[in-house]
């Protein structure tokens, strides 16, 4: 008879492997299954952030990817309904798998509403724990981000040969347009402002002074909150919205969002739209995938990275100010700076590897950055970029500029 005060062991404490990772090269890694049951094929990357696992897993830029967390203790603070970044959580636009080192402990945070394992099940995310994530990360750094299958079966029954074939057959992220899948299906209005300690998210109460149209390639909520917090009415439109429909909304500014997949694939329908929008004098600001698509529209190229940049501790230099900031990043493709044409300047650069992290069109109110200035999770060093963009909007309306760093 069990003592009622003795907690029931969680289902993943068994020694029998209940989850596996099968790489495209045939490597098999065994672990303990968490979250949803089943299998999914995707690219494995690693994220070096120490906090914000829920925001990471719900970032639509991770669609088509399995995230390896380098921080060993994931799940300690549980999960809640506030720390979600995809616009339509019911559609589950985010990472499809997760890899942890340590078992998930019981939640120990006042904001927790549920155990992370239960939350993973609800999101349909397949997860695995109990492996050396440092070794896997080192493997990725040496060999590049691999295609793989992650599978979870509580009974530990796996058809390894079938999983190997599935991993090997998957073509990967190159030439894959995931933005249409991550994008919202219809236009909507956003009014929620940034989170305030012990108050939560406030709705915009004042009549907004500016209208920003956000093209949704897989937008994060915190981006929209920051625009709303700076006095903007935000209209979110699907990724494949035409230039005529966007201009019909009479925007004061146009935002190009982050998102998943190969920018060249998304660019097949988005580039022509951006070329038309750039013929106007409406300010344009892009982040991540939006930055890459803008570069394509300007005549540049994008390339697949060896391992990508994923974390909240990346140093980036802003050439326009000479300052270095620590930023949040999540991208597996990058703009080839050498391909940028005359009239387009490189504004930001990674101090890790020298890759391009920003551009601006000379003499026009158009700029973009590769990193995630909205953070969530991550440092807020780059929040000034939203004020920089709103200053372009204000200048177009003949208004006085805001201080970039409040």
How are beta strands 210-216 and 253-256 bridged, if at all?
parallel
| Helix/strand/coil for 296 | helix
Token pair recorded at residue 106: 């019981």
Which residues, including other chains, have CB under 8 Å from residue 38's CB and lie 6 or more apart?
126, 151, 152
Q: Write b or e for each residue in 353-390: b if 16 or more Cβ atoms lie within 10 A of its Cβ, otherwise e.
A: eebbbbbbbeeebbbbbbbbbbbbbbebbbbbbbbbbb
Which residues, including other chains, have CB under 8 Å from residue 35's CB and lie 6 or more apart?
98, 117, 120, 121, 123, 125, 126, 127, 152
374 is catalytic: yes
Element (H, E) at 267: helix 263-277
Catalytic residue, candidates 291, 314, 372, 383 = 372
* Tokens 């793989």 sit on residue: 148
Q: For residue 215, how many C-alpha atoms fall within 13 Å in the half-sphere facing its CB?
A: 32
- Rounded to an integer, what distance in angstroms lies between the CA atom of residue 233 and that of residue 116? 34
Catalytic residue, candidates 288, 348, 371, 383 = 288
- Rounded to an integer, what distance in angstroms lies between the CA atom of residue 189 and that of residue 206? 15
Residues forming a β-bridge with 324 = 317
Query: What sign for the dihedral angle of Cα 46, 52, 54, 60?
Result: negative
Token pair recorded at residue 354: 């020298």
Bond into 377 cis (ω within 30): yes
372 is catalytic: yes
Query: Is 122 within 8 Å of 90 (Cβ atoms)?
Result: no
* Tokens 């390896």 sit on residue: 68
How are beta strands 200-203 and 28-35 bridged, if at all?
unpaired
- Rounded to an integer, what distance in angstroms lies between the CA atom of residue 90 and that of residue 92? 5
Catalytic residue, candidates 348, 357, 374, 383 = 374
The catalytic residues are 288, 372, 374
């Amino acid at each position: 008879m069990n003592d009622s005060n003795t907690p029931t062991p969680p289902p993943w404490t068994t020694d029998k492997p209940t989850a596996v990772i099968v790489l495209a090269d045939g490597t098999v890694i065994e672990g303990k299954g968490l979250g949803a049951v089943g299998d999914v094929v995707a690219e494995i990357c690693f994220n070096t952030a120490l906090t914000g696992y829920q925001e990471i897993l719900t970032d639509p830029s991770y669609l088509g990817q399995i995230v390896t967390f380098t921080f060993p203790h994931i799940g300690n603070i549980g999960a809640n309904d506030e720390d979600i970044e995809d616009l339509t959580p019911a559609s589950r636009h985010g990472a499809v798998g997760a890899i942890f080192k340590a078992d998930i402990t019981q939640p120990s945070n006042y904001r927790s509403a549920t155990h992370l394992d239960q939350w993973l099940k609800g999101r349909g995310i397949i997860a695995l724990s109990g492996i050396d994530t440092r070794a896997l990360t080192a493997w990725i750094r040496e060999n590049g981000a691999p295609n793989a299958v992650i599978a979870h079966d509580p009974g530990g029954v796996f058809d390894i040969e079938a999983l190997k074939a599935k991993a090997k057959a998957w073509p990967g992220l190159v030439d894959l347009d995931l933005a249409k899948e991550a994008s919202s299906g219809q236009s909507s209005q956003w009014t929620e402002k940034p989170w305030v300690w012990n108050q939560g998210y406030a709705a915009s109460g004042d009549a907004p002074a500016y209208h920003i149209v956000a093209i949704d390639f897989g937008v994060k909520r915190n981006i929209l909150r920051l625009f709303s917090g700076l006095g903007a009415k935000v209209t979110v439109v699907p990724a494949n919205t035409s230039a005529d429909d966007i201009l019909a909304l009479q925007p004061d500014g146009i935002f190009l969002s982050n998102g998943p997949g190969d920018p060249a694939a998304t660019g097949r329908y988005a580039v022509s739209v951006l070329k038309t929008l750039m013929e106007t004098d409406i300010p344009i600001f892009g982040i991540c995938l939006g930055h890459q698509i803008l570069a394509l529209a300007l005549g540049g190229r994008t390339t697949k990275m060896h391992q990508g940049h994923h974390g909240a501790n990346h140093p980036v230099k802003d050439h326009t100010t000479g300052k270095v900031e620590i930023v949040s990043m999540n991208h597996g493709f990058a703009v080839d700076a050498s391909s940028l044409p005359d009239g387009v300047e490189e504004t930001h650069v990674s101090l890790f590897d020298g890759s391009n992290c920003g551009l601006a069109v000379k003499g026009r109110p158009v700029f973009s950055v590769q990193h995630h200035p909205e953070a969530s999770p991550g440092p807020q060093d780059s929040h000034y970029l939203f004020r920089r963009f709103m200053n372009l909007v204000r200048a177009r309306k003949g208004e006085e500029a805001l201080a970039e760093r409040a």
